[in-house]
Structure 1
Amino acid sequence: MGKSLELVLALLLSSTVTPLAAAQPVPGTLGDTAATPEVRAQDIVSRMTLEEKAAQLGHTAPAIPRLGVPEYNWWNEGLHGVARAGIATVFPQAIGMAATWDTALLAKVGNTVATEFRAKFLERRLPDGGSEFYRGLTVWSPNINIFRDPRWGRGQETYGEDPYLSGRLGIAYIAGLQGNDPRIFKVIATSKHFAVHSGPESNRHREDVYPNPYDLEDTYLPAFRATVTEGKVQSVMCVYNAVNGVPGCASTMLMDDILRKSWGFGGYVVSDCGAAANIYRPDALHYTKTAPEGVAVGIKAGMDLICGDYRNKMTTDADSIVTAVKTGLLPQATVDRALERLFVARVRLGLFDPKLPFAEITAKDYDTPAHHAMSRKMAEESMVLLKNDGGLLPIKGDPRTIAVIGPNADSIDALVGNYYGTPSKPVTVLDGIRARYPKAKIVYAQGTGLIGPAEVPVPDAALCVDAACATKGLKAEYFAGTDLAGPATRTETLPNARLDWSGDRETSARWTGTLVAPTSGSYGFRFASENGYRVFVGDKLVVDEWGVGDAPSILTGTITLEKGRRYPIRVEGVQRGARSSQQLVWSIPGAGGDDAVAAAKAADLTIFVGGLSARIEGEEMRVQAPGFAGGDRTSLDLPAPQQALLDRLTATGKPLVLVLMNGSALAVNRADKTVPAIVEAWYPGGEGGHAVAGMLAGDFSPAGRLPVTFYKSADQLPAFTDYSMKGRTYRYFAGETLYPFGHGLSYTRFAYAAPTLSTTRVGADGKVNVSVTISNVGARDGDEVVQLYVAHPGAQNAPIRSLARFERVHLKKGETRRVSFTLDARALSLVDAKGVRRLTPGTVKLWIGGGQPGGRGGLPSVAGVATELKVDGQAMLPR
């Protein structure tokens, strides 16, 4: 979609400010800041009727004017910045931020995002003091599910495949979001999705997962445990799927036995959106026969807040809760317990205080230059240099002509990933290269689409309002509601099916007219929209992506047209969120990439920017292309149209750089053999183009490290639906990888001296200090990510190796620094077949280096050193 359209939408959204009226008086102790949050919550709950209580247990909690309780919408998304609330600073997608291995920077990002949430809350605060959709202070992030399989479309939302890395990064982001005031939270973070959730997307509402006790304790729970016991996260989201035969949002084992009793969690549990309905829906898990039974078992198990979704018309089951209480299925005391947890959270956000906390934050404190600078810094740190044969990078000198080619070169979609805000000044890779090399001739050719031919906007000249083509444009009709029903609220004539809605939710539009084909052949049509769409040409429904959610795919339909012939055309679009931009695009006959090849032949350097986007990998989507299914992937290969063009560019013999933008691993085996330099840029956020260009130019030395394994093929992996960890991730995969977990090259070199241990034999506490000296022995300044791995040779149920500690350090050219890590019993422990974690006697091998030990053909040796220690003590660790 066009950048100008995105910006118009964003400006419309961000310019709407609702003045705040005085909040309603609050009876009792709810507004008494001298009372504890628990007392304040208990008092207000005691004053509610059963019907009022039930309504408050949904994400759209209505106002209770008689009690001075304002409306509050709990649903807000903050995966990598404020999402779905108009203009905001967009940071790199979560998987990209994970590639920085920089907890300190991620905590700063979290704090910045929290500031923007506070600003957005103030910008559109309701007259009664409450909040609307996507404007609250309860944030459903981070996603700390383990990215166990690269085929999962939502893996981009996670911090990768390693439990320890995911936990440390989750703790950092939560600390930034929630702040360090023990009394008042800046925002409330949510660890999701608890637990054992990672696809497939197509079956997530019906999937019943049976992890063995070992994998549950060793892989699926540690990151959640860390964010609860160390990160003090105040909210946890339960999953769509069932675990061991019980829906996650009805699981006493997960929400009570583990979360509350074992880990001491004191916050509230929110359902994933629609997951409460999954408990009883016949087309989902159907664990109970009726809705009242379903909400009763969920709330009794520990679910406190119900998020609805589009499948169940956003219902939050208030009537079912009332019925469940009145029929004895659900004790009212259990309802009160859930409500008190929710009101404690609102109290600790300062929402009932006479004066809001964080008074220094204003409604304009978002999308600031300082925030942009932090987004760029995070994007720079996320860049992973996968390959650099012959030192092609950094770019030498000032090339006279640079060919920038590929479907992601000028794509905003490829900057933002999913769950995103609207960048006010998005910098694509093409923009970044133009800015970095202002004197060079930059030749741009898309060459191909992501999974099909290149798509361009349908020109205004091809569209007419009437069959006789006396008037150019299309007739536009707008409707209240999402089903095009009833009389149009307004009509107008537009040059094209192109519009930016100004933040209206639950609306729809229809554009009608005549299309004249400029040439004969097969055309592909798509409506580039943030929500659902349909395109009819002649009497054919060419493409139907009406959908039910927020994120449509890149679904395209084809039709054969004759040159000069006039065809009736009808385009329909729906708006469900406060962010939407529409544009009719097509692929035209004969668009085969010849222009891209010609550009490469005439250039000194070619930069191919390809990969994926959140329009083809993501949450429950329709994509009709080989290698994709339901938002997930069936193949790890670069999509065939991109590979075909990349092969042609390689054949030109010109210097070639491949820049990948994606949220999951790609098996770029052919490129690894033929392309001299390959960069993994992820979905790098609003400033991403500057970061990519700066890295290529050598303005900084790359130091990103892979948070996931890049396999050679999906055929190396077990079935996607198999939740056993055997043969998955670097910890259990024994085959040859394309690029291993922890891999990343630099423009400088580092050397490690022999490590020092505080003791070579440890007791039951497992305590040992490991120190190592690192020197930058290269020709320039740079960052190194020091990684400490542990291995238990010969032990049963032991991973090949596990990341135990890490630190990102900056070293100037010639600088030497000592880095120290402290290991403990948990870091040195193993999990037995019954899921019990123990410290056991034996030998533990340690590796400290810039990646995992060893390597493979074509990759340089990893700098690092090895040592070992003996564990003499033994202990059983708490869950």
Structure 2
Amino acid sequence: MKNTGIILFSIAIAISLCIPSFAQTSTEARFIQKADSIISLMTLEEKIGQLNLPAVGDFTTGQASSSNIAEKIKAGKVGALFNIKTAAKIRDVQKVAVEESRLGIPLLFGMDVIHGYETIFPIPLGIASSWDMELIEMSARIAANEASADGINWTFSPMTDVSRDPRWGRVSEGNGEDPYLGAQIAKAMIKGYQGDDLTLNNTIMACVKHFALYGAPEAGRDYHTVDMSRQKMFNEYFLPYKAAVEAGVGTVMTSFNDIDGIPASGNKWLMTDVLREQWGFDGFVVTDYTAINEMTDHGLGDLQRVSAMALNAGVEMDMVGEGFLTTLQKSLEEGLVTEKQIENAVRLILVAKYKLGLFDDPYKYCDLDRAEKEIFTPANRKIARDIAAQSLVLLKNQDGILPLAKKGTIALIGPLADNRENMTGTWSVAAKFEKSVSIHDGLKNAVGDKAKIVYAKGANVVVDSLFESKFSIYGKPTYRDNRPADVMIQEALDAAKNADVIVAVMGEAAEMSGESSSLTNIDLPENQRDLLKALLKTGKPVVMVLLAGRPMTIKWEDENVPAILNAWFAGSEAGDAIADVLFGDVNPSGKLPATFPQNIGQVPIYYNQKSTGRPLPEGQWFQKFRSNYLDVSNDPLYPFGYGLNYTTFEYGDLKFSSTDLKGDNKLQVSIDLKNTGKYDGAEVVQLYIRDLVASMTRPVKELKGFQKVFLKAGESKTITFDISTEDLKFYNYNIEFDWEPGEFEIMVGGNSRDLVKGKMNWEK
């Protein structure tokens, strides 16, 4: 059987090379021809086998498992595998596919390389806070290089789900609430993963997810239903997915939720009409973990019925559920699907393997020397540290308490202040947790013998041990202390007694956000707040370092703690990066990619909302019969785009190249920016536009551009934005993408709230 496979595979390649028009066709067409030559030799069972993606290894999720993988590979019943790592293991498995199956078709090997491989960068919500596309692309490039060195050639990233609900745990995996920022990040990530040439052995195929609308579940509950208008879909949620397609992403993953009452994995309008026909996507679609099987619980029928529905919708690969593998042959016999549909799916998968160069060299990602030399290197860790520092967001700095001096005694207090394992955050499946840098180690590394670091845990992450057991998983223990709470607090007070300053590390554990980690309460846990209150009563200056995978409701902390640094989960180099910012070796420049609410009752709250017919007058807290609350203002705690700096920036007036434009002319908007403080620093200058009169309701402002600008203390610079009619376009009531003439408000500033404004008129 082994020799037969090699011979038949060689015949298939030879056939494709003999096609007369081969030399004149495009690369894509050549790959299609080669794929078709192989399809002509395949049995129906082998064709269906290419559509099967089982999970193996130690990192599986969900409710299903696969067995007898090797035998299925030999029988041609597997097209790809995921959650297997190391070049040696992958080489052994690939060898089974290439040398022991009948046709010798190589496998794809995927993994959730979400924010780094072994070198872990900040969680996606954190790295989005850098607003630096070069750094974001670099993080994906390093991740691709490390993953490919360990045998991986396909990543289930980037996740581009727009989310405005911090209760939803997977907000940590996305880029926040804004579609424009999310689109720029999607493009940067795909460029980093895929590069310019997928045949190189240090690039990997990307998979944008979760298509579509997964970030908008009702009640913020993971996997829950999504319900919104088509206008909202196209104008506010689809843009990052579309940007990923335009950037050439190789694959698309379906989401778990339903859209217009039809689950995404069976939604033909979504997968075919929008994704392929409107956007021109030419790669293959893979489901999320058992998403086809889960359509039965959505109420759409048995496994055979929903599997046929998925194939008819435009899904090519079934992750883990094996519905395609076990039912498509019967569905073909019963006329529920066609062999042409099956072959089209196979063709797209084989073309992807050609694009990766796997037919030329199935073992191109299995170089053991690369794995030894290119993973978790000092150079990669240095870049991860630099990127992590750029992701931190300074939320409050009363009286310039930060940066800290490297002298005296510093009390480091908090349940995760000396915890390496939780620094990487959620979805860091390949991380070496024990090699991450804790905050305790980071501060000690920074001060050396110049200052004394005194540590006490002070509290557990939460009071309830059962609750803690739900998130102290995946190799990220929280090391629960069973002593009474008052004893732990007293220990912290004893540690702080002779300190000059207290650094209180508070917030979430790594797995309190992420998949299946939705919360109804996003306050700081009560026992941590009790600890914080005790520390504040000492009268010593307190700096809170907030660890979080989501925007949290920290209004009390904002009102009472003099300095707050939001560190998200900053990755394997978190401790050193946090120390860099705390001591001023790096001036923080991060800006929030998601709004922080005052309390949970404001959710969903986001900057680009629409005006009501009874808007609250600007600057007012409450007015009867207006759109507001009785008990709290409409304002967020911290707005989208917000972030302080150790220096200060002053914005001048807006200057327009013209206040009246026509047609395809471009508008130039400029503003003078001056660093008026004592430190060199970077500011993210943000451009927003409002369409003041339109044929349908429009947001009060929309992000349309940004520039990260570095200025030395006292330096000034003129920042210029070019605006075209493309920036004015939106999907109207009839889902037509166009712009409408009229008056527009242009706004520029350092966050979505504090803006310099001007108006202009644009006619067709």
Tell me which interval the TM-score lies in, with the shorter structure as reference length: 0.7 to 0.9
Q: Name the % identity.
A: 33
- Does 1:851 find its partner at 2:751? yes
Deviation, structure 1 residue 39: 1.5
Deviation, structure 1 residue 233: 1.1
Query: Matched residues in 2 for 1:426 and 1:375: separation?
Result: 11
Picking from 668, 678, 700, the partner of 2:554 is 668
Picking from 228, 245, 253, the partner of 1:211 is 228
Flag the structure with higher strand content. 1
Unaligned segments of structure 2, at least 5 residues:
18-22, 55-77, 80-96, 613-626
Q: What residue number does 2:46 align with?
A: 52
The answer to whether the Cα contact below 8 Å between 2:438 and 2:574 also exists between their aligned partners in 1 is: yes
- Does 1:28 find its partner at 2:38? no
**What SS is found at the alignment partner of 1:447?**
coil
Q: What residue number does 2:572 align with?
A: 686
Q: What residue number does 1:301 align with?
A: 313
Q: What residue number does 2:377 align with?
A: 368
**What SS is found at the alignment partner of 2:568?**
coil
- Does 1:451 find its partner at 2:486? no
Q: What residue number does 1:249 align with?
A: 265
Deviation, structure 1 residue 340: 0.8
- Does 1:595 find its partner at 2:491? yes
Query: Matched residues in 2 for 1:120 and 1:755: separation?
Result: 51
* Mapping for residues 230-309 of structure 1, pairs under 5 Å: 231-279=247-295, 281=296, 284-287=297-300, 289-308=301-320
One-letter identity of the residue aligned with 1:701: N
Query: Matched residues in 2 for 1:355 and 1:810: separation?
Result: 46
Deviation, structure 1 residue 867: 2.5
Distance 1:327 1:797, change over 3 A: same
Moved more, 746-755 or 582-591: 582-591
* Mapping for residues 116-515 of structure 1, pairs under 5 Å: 116-121=146-151, 136-181=152-197, 186-198=203-215, 207-229=224-246, 231-279=247-295, 281=296, 284-287=297-300, 289-308=301-320, 314-354=321-361, 362-364=370-372, 365-396=374-405, 398-420=406-428, 421-423=430-432, 425-439=435-449, 440-452=451-463
One-letter identity of the residue aligned with 2:140: G
Query: Matched residues in 1 for 2:262 and 2:231: separation?
Result: 19
Query: Matched residues in 2 for 1:353 and 1:773: separation?
Result: 55
One-letter identity of the residue aligned with 2:34: R
One-letter identity of the residue aligned with 2:521: S
Deviation, structure 1 residue 204: 6.9
Deviation, structure 1 residue 819: 3.1
Query: Matched residues in 2 for 1:582 and 1:607: separation?
Result: 22
Picking from 751, 756, 760, the partner of 1:869 is 760
The answer to whether the Cα contact below 8 Å between 2:688 and 2:704 also exists between their aligned partners in 1 is: yes
Distance 1:141 1:668, change over 3 A: same
Flag the structure with higher helix content. 2
Unaligned segments of structure 1, at least 5 residues:
1-22, 83-87, 122-135, 309-313, 454-523, 529-544, 546-551, 556-578, 621-630, 855-863, 874-879
Query: Matched residues in 1 for 2:500 and 2:575: separation?
Result: 20
Query: Matched residues in 1 for 2:660 and 2:648: separation?
Result: 33
The answer to whether the Cα contact below 8 Å between 2:149 and 2:366 also exists between their aligned partners in 1 is: no
Deviation, structure 1 residue 191: 1.0
The answer to whether the Cα contact below 8 Å between 2:162 and 2:174 also exists between their aligned partners in 1 is: yes
RMSD: 2.9
**What SS is found at the alignment partner of 2:318?**
coil
The answer to whether the Cα contact below 8 Å between 2:175 and 2:185 also exists between their aligned partners in 1 is: yes
One-letter identity of the residue aligned with 2:482: S
The answer to whether the Cα contact below 8 Å between 2:420 and 2:435 also exists between their aligned partners in 1 is: no
* Mapping for residues 550-569 of structure 1, pairs under 5 Å: 553-554=471-472
The answer to whether the Cα contact below 8 Å between 1:208 and 1:244 also exists between their aligned partners in 2 is: no
Distance 1:354 1:837, change over 3 A: closer
Distance 1:713 1:164, change over 3 A: same
Deviation, structure 1 residue 781: 1.4
Deviation, structure 1 residue 98: 0.2
Query: Matched residues in 2 for 1:714 and 1:583: separation?
Result: 26
Deviation, structure 1 residue 74: 4.3
Q: What residue number does 2:714 align with?
A: 814
- Does 1:80 find its partner at 2:115? yes
**What SS is found at the alignment partner of 1:275?**
coil
Picking from 640, 643, 647, the partner of 2:533 is 647
Q: What residue number does 2:121 align with?
A: 91
The answer to whether the Cα contact below 8 Å between 1:59 and 1:316 also exists between their aligned partners in 2 is: no
Picking from 777, 783, 789, the partner of 2:676 is 777
The answer to whether the Cα contact below 8 Å between 1:375 and 1:685 also exists between their aligned partners in 2 is: yes
**What SS is found at the alignment partner of 1:404?**
strand
Query: Matched residues in 2 for 1:99 and 1:793: separation?
Result: 29
The answer to whether the Cα contact below 8 Å between 1:269 and 1:302 also exists between their aligned partners in 2 is: yes
Query: Matched residues in 1 for 2:43 and 2:611: separation?
Result: 52
One-letter identity of the residue aligned with 2:115: H
Moved more, 685-694 or 355-364: 355-364
Query: Matched residues in 2 for 1:303 and 1:143: separation?
Result: 18
Deviation, structure 1 residue 168: 0.3
What TM-score, normalized by structure 2, do the two folds share?
0.83
Query: Matched residues in 2 for 1:388 and 1:643: separation?
Result: 19
Distance 1:338 1:203, change over 3 A: farther
Deviation, structure 1 residue 184: 5.9
Deviation, structure 1 residue 768: 2.3
Distance 1:30 1:773, change over 3 A: farther
What number of residue pairs does the alignment pair up?
679
